[in-house]
Structure 1
Amino acid sequence: MKPVHLIPALALALVLAACGGEPDQPAKDAHANDAADHGTEADEHGHEADEVASTVIAAEVAEKSGIKTQPAGPGVIADEHEVQGLLTPVEGRVAQVTARFPGPIRSLRANVGDPVRAGQVLATIESNLSLSTYSVAAPISGVVVERSASVGGLASEGAPLFEIADLSQLWVDLHIFGADAQHIQPGVPVAVTRMSDGETVRTTLERVLPGMATASQSTVARATIDNADNQWRPGTAVKARITVAQEPVDLMVPLTALQSMDGQESVFVREGETYLTRHVELGARDATQVQILSGLSEGEEVVVAESYLIKADIGKEGAAHDH
């Protein structure tokens, strides 16, 4: 009787061995197929959603963190040359104040840095010839940049007492080296930046001077800036970006949008409160913008401020999933 009972048991064992856990396989296959289908599904912008790194940040948290977005779109990439230069007074707007007759200086009524107007009395001098006192007035309006006299001192005829400069406008002399000088012509835009605090003013290149600057062996290109508020000082070193050409592009984003993800240049796109990684191919760039050749569509909301926070948050999400 025992052989009769062993046959079904042996048959069941063989079936289980052959199956090797097959009853669980359909569930695994279904999950794998679902993941594969999700991985190759394209979103509404035509980007494949295969393993797209993302994170969710509540709108109020994003606002408090300074995260800002703007739609990707067309624009202009500038071909720019960055140079350095120096601010100088405009020629013809500097005047010397001199004594007409020799004699002792009885009073001085202005100091270096004082603003003066044309006709304002700056000094009185007792003439050695007539023994009478006469006044010396400012020939132009401007700022006293130098005083070379003192009360009680002797003024010689024609000797300078003051130097006055009209600083309402200043020249920007920019030094251009080598082959760059061949690409820079008058009439192109110039952005002049003060090195001390980053203040920038925009103007136009007026002329490229003939010859070379003796000390630096550079070509000097000159522009003029307005200085009505007297915040720009002669002798100040500045840097400038000279735009020699502008190229329209179909799609671009600010450089602040770029982050490196998985060794690739990337941007983050906001969809509601979800931030998605987009690997992008870059084209031309200038000091502030970069062309996007692929990986992004016009109109998508791209993170342009505090994008590193999105990168860090996605990195935390990935670390959490790894564990």
Structure 2
Amino acid sequence: MKLIMKHRWHMVLLAVLTTLIACGEAPKSEGGGHGAAEPVVEKGEHNGRLLKDKNFTLELAIFETGVPPEYRAWVYLDGKLLKPNEVKLQVRLTRLGNKVDVIDFAPQSDFLRGNSVIYEPHSFVVSIEANHKGTVHRWKFDNFEGRTRIEPAVAKALEIVTETAGPATLKETIDVFGKIAADPSREREINARFDGVITGVQVVLGQTVTAGQSLLTVESNESLRSYDIKAPIAGVVTRLDAKAGQQTRGNALVKIVDNSRTTAELAIFPAQLARVKTGAAVTVNYQGEGLTGTIDQLALETNPNQSVTARVSLNKPIPLGAQITARVQVDEYEVPIAVKRIGLQAFRDFTVVYAQVGEEYEVRMLELGREAGEWVEVLGGLEPGTHYVTDNSYVIKSDIEKSGASHDH
């Protein structure tokens, strides 16, 4: 409920701050955030953008049918298609962070074909220079997608958090369940040293006792002398089979359990067993608290439900028999670059994070690898050292979606 309320508060705050920004003197967005709607782009017969300079027209399109995305261009003079070898064309793409991709073109069939793949996101300032018989034609326009600008004060108010993408240690875990049991090394069953009649009982069931405290008084059958039976360890009386006037008869009279340390008994099923090893790190969850330990022992016998018991010592007095869940670490490895799972969002058909450059945020389409805990390995789409949004990344997603940002070729 708290998370839902926090999410709603963020969305209300975003709406208010967006309204305040939109009502200011100048828009704060570039093709994917707050501000005025983008002008309608005139398209040509190849669904490319038409760029005109008097009687000279260039149609520029991103083509990606059966090939990686690339630029293709058709050139017209007085409405007639020119031969591609009559025009020298170059396109410069200036991406967020002022990284520039230079694309040269070569004739092919009736069009000019770019010599570089246009990698995602297709978000950049496009600068074009076309030379036809010594006359140079230039155009420049914004082709932004998945981008927005948020002022630092607004980002702080929305609790947007960023981190730096880089190497990480991924720790793979499996989820298991179990219960709390007594530590076998901290249990004592107590008998009378000399059989006789019990003449006094100094404790009650459930009582906490200290080491050396008197538990029972017994009158020996042989010597008729009385002696006290004392607690060999500190702990709790968990069984009391002694009453005044009763003969001891060699029976176990008292059981004491030291519950300052307990054992988590975890059920490991056959599909998990090959990956679980003695010494593996474990986090036991009890009433919202994470208790750490390692697997001390894997039982040799199989339980009726076909699981094997893994035992983990815990330095905490948890009630015996309490039901618990736990995460057992089964692998650990280093990866060159990873991002936190909390920062992942969906954008078109991609899984993305939002990179931050100054006050601007823009999608980065990711190729993902292994997942472990809070981390996800990145195989492509993000450069090491990139600042990306972790907490409250949905705020950026909402702001971009609200603007109606499109994938315009």
In the alignment, residue 164 of structure 1 is paired with which amino acid? I
**Partner residue in 1 for 2:22:** none
In the alignment, residue 225 of structure 1 is paired with which amino acid? L
* Higher RCO structure, 1 or 2 (CA under 8 Å, sep 6+): 1
Give the deviation of 1:249 after TM superposition: 0.9
**Partner residue in 1 for 2:309:** 220
**Partner residue in 1 for 2:340:** 254
Higher strand residue share: 2
TM-score by length of 1: 0.73
Give the deviation of 1:297 after TM superposition: 1.2
TM-score by length of 2: 0.59
In the alignment, residue 182 of structure 1 is paired with which amino acid? A
**1:208 aligned to 277, 298, 319, which one?**
298
1:83 aligns with 2:185: no
**1:295 aligned to 381, 389, 405, which one?**
381
2:234 and 2:208 mapped to 1: Cα distance? Answer: 8
1:276 and 1:168 mapped to 2: Cα distance? Answer: 53
1:68 and 1:292 mapped to 2: Cα distance? Answer: 19
In the alignment, residue 308 of structure 2 is paired with which amino acid? T
1:184 and 1:67 mapped to 2: Cα distance? Answer: 38
In the alignment, residue 93 of structure 1 is paired with which amino acid? R
**Partner residue in 2 for 1:170:** 262
Secondary structure at 1:183 match in 2: coil
Contact 1:188 1:205 in 2 (8 A): yes
2:214 and 2:342 mapped to 1: Cα distance? Answer: 55
In the alignment, residue 366 of structure 2 is paired with which amino acid? V
Unmatched runs of 5 consecutive residues or more in structure 1: 1-23
Higher helix residue share: 1
Superposed CA offset, 1:209-245 (max 9, x none): 21211x2111222222222xx2x33212222222222
RMSD between superposed Cα atoms in Å: 3.7
In the alignment, residue 102 of structure 1 is paired with which amino acid? V
2:236 and 2:92 mapped to 1: Cα distance? Answer: 71
CA distance 1:160–1:39, change in 2 (3 Å): farther
CA distance 1:306–1:143, change in 2 (3 Å): farther
In the alignment, residue 266 of structure 1 is paired with which amino acid? V
Unmatched runs of 5 consecutive residues or more in structure 2: 1-50, 61-70, 72-89, 101-119, 124-143
1:30 and 1:235 mapped to 2: Cα distance? Answer: 80
CA distance 1:285–1:26, change in 2 (3 Å): same
1:30 and 1:280 mapped to 2: Cα distance? Answer: 36
**Partner residue in 1 for 2:277:** 185
CA distance 1:117–1:38, change in 2 (3 Å): farther
Superposed CA offset, 1:99-151 (max 9, x none): 6643454x644552x5422012345x58597999764432211233445668x
Runs of 4+ in 1 over 6 A off after TM superposition: 29-33, 36-39, 128-133
**1:42 aligned to 95, 119, 122, which one?**
95
1:315 and 1:145 mapped to 2: Cα distance? Answer: 62
Secondary structure at 1:209 match in 2: strand
Q: How many residues align?
A: 285
Superposed CA offset, 1:192-221 (max 9, x none): 222x32x222222223221211x2111222
- Where in structure 2 are the equivalents of 1:88-237 lying within 5 Å? 88-97=181-190, 101-103=196-198, 105=200, 108-109=202-203, 112=206, 114-122=207-215, 125=217, 127=219, 135-147=228-240, 154-157=245-248, 162-194=254-286, 196-197=287-288, 199-213=289-303, 215-227=304-316, 230=317, 232-237=318-323
Q: What is the percentage of aligned positions where both structures have the same residue?
A: 27
1:256 and 1:263 mapped to 2: Cα distance? Answer: 18
1:253 and 1:109 mapped to 2: Cα distance? Answer: 58
2:237 and 2:158 mapped to 1: Cα distance? Answer: 49
CA distance 1:134–1:279, change in 2 (3 Å): same
Contact 1:191 1:201 in 2 (8 A): yes
1:53 aligns with 2:146: yes
